[in-house]
Every structure is written in structure tokens, then in C-alpha cells.
Amino acid sequence: MASLVEPRVEGARLSALSAPVLRGLAQALDVATLLCAAPLAAALAGASFEGSTSLAGLAGAAAGAALLSAEDAYALDRLRRLRAQAGAILKACALAGAASALCLFLTGTAGAAQRLFPFALAFASAGLLAVSRAGLATLTRRWTRSGVFRRRVAVVAVSDFSREFIRRLQAEPDAFEVVGVYDDRLASGRAPRVHAGVPVLGSVADLLRDSRERRVDVIAVALPLGAVERIAHILGQLSSAVADVCLTTDLAGLAYQGRQFAAVGANPVISVGENPMKDWRAVKKACLDYGLGALALVLLSPLMAVLALAVKLDSPGPVLFRQPRLGFNNRLFTCYKFRTMRVDMTDLLADRQTGRDDPRVTRVGKWMRRLSLDELPQLFNVLDGSMSLVGPRPHAPNTKAADRLFADVVKQYAVRHKVKPGVTGWAQVNGWRGETATVEAIENRVRCDLYYIDNWSAAFDLKIMLLTMAREIFSSRAY
């Protein structure tokens, strides 16, 4: 069965270390550094760090952090170069000292040590910020050289727009890498093999396939606005792509405002679709999955050991059922469950869905499925990164509704694969789990999945987990 499951994507990386996340971490580091500078300044000035002195230290830290944010000190190109940050650091430290002096004045604090405190705070802040920012600059340069922040861009269509688009990205080699150009006209010989120094690799369908085997962060469709039908057809093909999808067109030579359009490097673009789980959203999702997943595995391990023993004693065969299922980016992965069917009747690709009173289900398997306990081994999938605690439920490749494959029934079915599949999901807690005997059943399931993707938040995930425990144990749809 291992041959049915695709290998990990070449060049895959955890998107948690993206440029927006680095900026947020740098800002948090500055706040922590400025807070640490306050007790150090008190020690240097010979003052006790309590009462009005501690309040003055907090005021100085807040003022310094606010100025660093206002000075745009967190742009990636500035984080790489300590010299580019020097002016902002000095201003922030001076303001921190001034804010602490004002606080001491307003609270009527007197004494030689307190009078020295603002100067000590400015000095301590400057020293600590210089050290922390120097270390961060070294790391940022190293990460930049290794391509951590480099966005991999695929361009659709051979056109004048794409030539100019590629030329601008090639001027920023640290930030962007153009991985290829794709054009449906290549097969008929109406598109060249090389465009703007970049190989033309195939059709849009080839791009979707390649994006599942290699990391692609941005897909840019480069066509004039007059090509409405061609643009609509291409965007329809790309609706399930995990990468950010944008349109670069006649706007390339016009002035634009950031709130109206997006940008890829120096190129103005119209954002068509974005990866729903990137940057800080990816960080929050990963913290929930790995944190709560590990905790659940520890707490439930005694129960899982008992269940494994029950499966082994009930019928011959392995304890775990390993099934290929469609997951993130429409790639196959191995999904773990406790085995609930007789080995000689196992349906690996789900050509036939499990029905009520299914004769293939074992005695132990029947009550395990009734309580949804057979899904517990999917906690291992969560910890190996192939699943999330919450998300659209993964389906086996041959699962059908009314004898038709899901992808043939619902046009937007593949869009649900833009996020990792989940152990539970919004469709499940709304009653759309189990057998999909009708087209309506899979339509409602996909509708719930798309709603979840569009409205994701950490609070939404927690709500679904609580609803799962309240509604899905003894669910009438579980059999």
C-alpha cells in the first residue's frame, strides 16, 4: 500500500517561518528586550525596581516599541542589515528614556537614583537592542541566502505581461524564484519552449500536478483583460490550487493603491485567491494541532492500548487499518484507524462504503465505530503533519455518492483540499458524516467544508472540538 501514497513534496517547508511571521517575532523580541532593559537600568542607576520606577520602565518600553513599529523597523530588508536599523533603534531608546522621565515627573518621584534612571534606561535599551538586532540580522541573512523567505512563483501564459512580470521578479532574486511558465498552447506549438529566460513547462493541468510535487507559493496569470473567457477558464482550473493565485494584466504600467490591489514584488496584481493557511494562521493552526494532539495522545493512550488489545483478540489480523486517502493539496497519505472489518473483507480504496449493519464489520468494530473510537489512531496523523485535529474529513480515492465519484458530483470538491484534512470537522458536527448515499449528502458536506475554510479561526476549531465531544459520541450517523 505504501506505493499508493505519494512521497513528501520536494522542497516542502513549514510556512511558519515566512516574512510576516519573522516581522511579528522581531516585534515581540523588541518588546521583551525593552522590558528587560528596565530592571537593568534600575540596577545601573542604583534604584530599586518597584513602584514609580517600574511604572516608568514600562512606560519607556511601551514608547520605544511604539516608535520602532512606526519607523517600519520590521521590513525584511532592514532586518537583514544592522546599519539600516541603527537610526530607528537610537530614536526608540531616546524616546524610552524621555517617556520614563516624564512618568517619574508626573508621579512626583525624586532622588538621585531616579533622576539617573531615564539615562540608564536609554543606555541599557540601546545596548540590549543592538545585541538582539545584531543576532537577528545574522540569522535573517542566513535564512535569506538559504531561500527560507524566497517565494516560488509559477507564471501562466506566454505574453508581454508575463515577460515584464518575470523581469521584475528576476531583479529580486532573494525574494522570488520563477519556477516555470505554463501555457496550454505549448502542445500545439504556438508557445515557445523558453520565455523570458524561463522554461515553459506545460499546460495549466501540468501546473496543478507540479504544484503537488514541488512547492509553489504564487501562481500569476498574466493576460490582458480582454481575454475574459481564457482568464475565466484558467482561474476555474486553478480553483483548487493551494498557492496564492493572482492576475497580472494591463495594471502593470499604472499607479495603484495597496488597499485596492496586492503586489508581488514590484508587480501590481489583482489577488484572486490566497492560501487559507499561511503566515500567522499557519502558526496558530500548528500550535493547536501539535499541542492539543500530543496532550490528547498522552491522555488517551491507556484507552487506545485497551482498544488495540480488543481488536487483536476479536479477530485475526493487524490492529491498525492503514488506508490511502486524499489529503492536503489533493495528495495521497496513509490514514490510520483501528481495524473494524474482517481482513478478508477489507475495502482499501472504499469502492463500497460502510452501511448500517454491514456484515464486514467485526463485533468489536461495531461498537468502536458506534462510539467513533476507531478514529483515535489519527492522532498519529496529526503529529506526523498529514492531518489536523479539525478540517474537512479525508476520503478514500474511490468513495462515491450515488455511484459517482465525489469529484464528479461537486464541482468545488477539490477546493476542500486547500487545507489539511481533520480528525473531525464542521460537516461532522452538523450531521453530515457517515455514508453518502445521495448527491445531496456530499453537496452538504462540501458546503460545510468550504464554510470552515473561509471562516477558520482558532476559536472555531475549539468550538468544533467541543461539539464533537457533545454530539458525535453515540451519533446516529456512526456505524
Per-position DSSP letters for 104-133, written without gaps between them: HHHTT--SHHHHHHHHHHHHHHHHHHHHHH
Contacts of 113 (CB under 8 A, 6+ apart): 45, 46, 47
Report whether pLDDT(301) > 90: yes
Residues for the chain: how many in total? Answer: 479
Mean pLDDT of the chain: 86
Report whether pLDDT(342) > 80: yes
Q: Average pLDDT, stretch 451-477?
A: 86
Percentage of the chain lying above the pLDDT 70 cut: 88
293-302, 426-435, 448-457: segment of lowest average pLDDT: 426-435
Say if strands 400-401 and 404-405 run parallel, antiparallel, or are unpaired: antiparallel
Give residue 399's pLDDT.
75
Report whether pLDDT(346) > 80: no
CA distances from 71 to 20, 75, 91, 234 (A): 16, 10, 9, 41
**Nearest-angstrom CA–CA distance, 196 and 310:** 63
At 391, the pLDDT band (50, 70, 90 cuts) reads very high
At 264, the pLDDT band (50, 70, 90 cuts) reads confident
Rg (CA), the chain: 28
Percentage of the chain lying above the pLDDT 90 cut: 47
Residues in a beta bridge with 10: 214
**Nearest-angstrom CA–CA distance, 88 and 20:** 20
Report whether pLDDT(471) > 90: no
At 37, the pLDDT band (50, 70, 90 cuts) reads very high
Q: Average pLDDT, stretch 293-303?
A: 95
In the block, residue with C-alpha cell 511604572: 55
At 433, the pLDDT band (50, 70, 90 cuts) reads confident
Give residue 285's pLDDT.
95
**Which residue, 125, 134, 32, is CA-closest to 79?**
134
Query: How many Cβ atoms sit within 10 Å of the Cβ of residue 14?
Result: 11
Give residue 347's pLDDT.
66
**Nearest-angstrom CA–CA distance, 403 and 407:** 12
CA distances from 367 to 112, 139, 297, 307, 432 (A): 76, 53, 21, 11, 20
For the stretch 375-388, pLDDT in tens is 999 999 999 999 99
Most confident range (mean pLDDT) of 7-11, 148-152, 297-301, 469-473 is 297-301
Report whether pLDDT(147) > 50: yes
Q: Average pLDDT, stretch 192-215?
A: 92
Q: What does the block give as the cell for 213?
A: 510535487
In the block, residue with C-alpha cell 504564487: 218
For the stretch 63-93, pLDDT in tens is 999 999 888 888 888 898 888 889 999 999 9
